[in-house]
Structure 1
C-alpha cells in the first residue's frame, strides 16, 4: 500500500499550516489541491511548500468546488504511484488523532472505502444536523441498505484505482454533493464501505463554504438521479442484501 494525504483547500489560510503540521509526523506524501483560493491562502501554501519536503501542491485555475478539487487530488496522487489517499479537510474539523486507525483499517481491508462516522458535539449547526438526517434517509433508499451509515463526512481513505474507475463510469458532482454521490456509486459497484467513529467539530469562527440554497438544490437533484439509478440496480442490490443476510 502506497499511502498519502489529500487536502482540498479554498480560502483556509488560518488553519492549513496546523493541518499540515499534524500530518507531517506520518512521513507520507501530502497532496494539496488549491481550489482557486485567495492571495492570503496562496501565500501560506507557498511557505508550506518551501518547508515541507513531501508536500505536493496542485492549483486549479478557478474555484470549481470541493468535489472537483478532491477528484484532481485523486488523479495527482494516482499518477504519482499512490494506491490509497486519505482525504481530510483543511479547516481543522477532523480529529487527526484517529488517522492511525484509518490506516490500520485500510491495511486490513485495502479494497474498501474507509470513512469516518462523525460524532458531533453541540457546535454542529441545527440546519446541518437536519440536512444530514434527510440525506441519510435517501441514501438508505438509494443503496437499499442500512450499511452506509454516513455519506457526508469528508474524512476518508479511498482505494484510488477503484475510486477513479467509479468516477470514469459516472463523474460525481463537483461541489458539496461529491462526498455523498461517490460513496453511493462505489457501493453500487460492490466496493466495501467501512466506518470508523470519529469526532468532528465546527470550530468557533470557522469558515464554511456550504451555500445553503445552491448546495441543497444540487444535493436534491443528485438524490433524484441516484433514486432512479437505484431502480435500475434494485434486483442486483436486493440479491446482494439477501446473500449478506444468508451469510
Structure 2
C-alpha cells in the first residue's frame, strides 16, 4: 500500500517554518517536521499547531546535526508508522507547495522510483547559486549516466526504505551533502529516477529569508563528496569492464 508523508527538516527557519507547514497542510494532510536543534522558537510555533491538525507530527533533535541527519530521523519515524514514501521539502518556503500533489501522484504511478525536482529559476534567484550548481550537476550527470538532472534541489519523493538503507551504509550525507549524494547512491542501487520540473522562489531578508549555506565550508564538503562519488563511479565502471 502506497503511503506518503511530507517531511520538512528545519533548523532556525524563523517565521517561514510555520508559514510553510500551513501551506503544505492545505494540500496534504500528513506532515512530519523535524526540528534539528533549533534555538529560535520556530519549533514551538509548529508544535502549537499539532492539536489542530491530526496529521501533523513534530520531532525534536537535541542538537543541530545537519539536513541529512534530520531527514534520516524523520524517515526512520515514517517507516515505523507505516509510510512507504517521503516527500522532502525545505522549511524556508522556497519549494513549490502547489506541486506536492503532482509529485506524490507521479510517485504513486511508479512507486519503485524516486521523483526528483528540477528547479525552474525565476528572476529572484541569486546568480551565484544558479551558476554554482552547474559544475555539481555536470559531475552528478556523469556519475549517474544522466539519470539525475539536478543534484541540489531538495524537493523530492523517495521510496523511504531504499533511502534509509543508503543513508545507513555511510557516515556521510548528514549535512548539505545529503541531496546530491543520496540521489547518486540510490541510482547505483538500481532505483529509477524520474525528473520533474518545479518552480523555486527565493526570499530576501526583509521577507524573512534565511540561508544556512556557508559558501566555503559547504563547497569544501561538496568537493570531497564528489571525490568519493568519482572514486565509486570509477570502481563501478571497472567492474562492468571485467
Give 3-state SS (helix, strand or coil) of 1:15's partner. helix
CA contact (8 A) 1:188 1:237 kept: no
- The structure richer in helix per residue is 1
Alignment of 1:89-108 (within 5 A): 89-108=90-109
CA contact (8 A) 2:68 2:178 kept: yes
Unaligned runs of 5+ in 2: none
- Give CA-to-partner distance per residue, 1:121-150, whole Å, 9 cap, x none: 12222221222101011112222x123101
Structure 1 pair 24–225 and aligned structure 2 pair: CA distance change class (3 A): same
Q: Does 1:229 align with 2:229?
A: no
Could you state the TM-score of these two structures normalised by the residue count of structure 1? 0.91
Aligned to 1:244: none
RMSD: 1.7
Give 3-state SS (helix, strand or coil) of 2:48's partner. helix
Q: Which residue among 211, 214, 223 is the counterpart of 1:211?
A: 214
CA contact (8 A) 1:9 1:32 kept: yes
Aligned to 2:176: 176
Kindly state the Cα deviation for residue 45 of structure 1 after the two structures are TM-superposed. Answer: 2.2
CA contact (8 A) 2:20 2:93 kept: yes
Give 3-state SS (helix, strand or coil) of 1:102's partner. helix
Kindly state the Cα deviation for residue 120 of structure 1 after the two structures are TM-superposed. Answer: 0.4
Structure 1 pair 23–226 and aligned structure 2 pair: CA distance change class (3 A): same
Give 3-state SS (helix, strand or coil) of 1:228's partner. helix
Give 3-state SS (helix, strand or coil) of 1:48's partner. coil
Kindly state the Cα deviation for residue 108 of structure 1 after the two structures are TM-superposed. Answer: 0.7
Aligned to 1:150: 150
CA contact (8 A) 1:65 1:174 kept: yes
CA contact (8 A) 2:8 2:32 kept: yes
Kindly state the Cα deviation for residue 39 of structure 1 after the two structures are TM-superposed. Answer: 3.8
C-alpha distance in 1, partners of 2:141/2:5?
30
Q: Does 1:131 align with 2:132?
A: yes
Kindly state the Cα deviation for residue 16 of structure 1 after the two structures are TM-superposed. Answer: 1.7
C-alpha distance in 2, partners of 1:131/1:237?
32
Q: What count of residue pairs does the alignment treat as equivalent? A: 238
Query: Post-superposition, which runs of at least 4 consecutive aligned residues in structure 1 deviate over 4 A?
Result: 235-239
Alignment of 1:57-76 (within 5 A): 57-76=58-77
Alignment of 1:180-195 (within 5 A): 180-195=180-195
Unaligned runs of 5+ in 1: 240-247
C-alpha distance in 2, partners of 1:27/1:231?
41
CA contact (8 A) 1:30 1:55 kept: yes
Aligned to 2:164: 164
Which is worse superposed, 228-237 or 119-128? 228-237
Give 3-state SS (helix, strand or coil) of 1:166's partner. helix
Give 3-state SS (helix, strand or coil) of 2:134's partner. helix
Kindly state the Cα deviation for residue 236 of structure 1 after the two structures are TM-superposed. Answer: 6.1
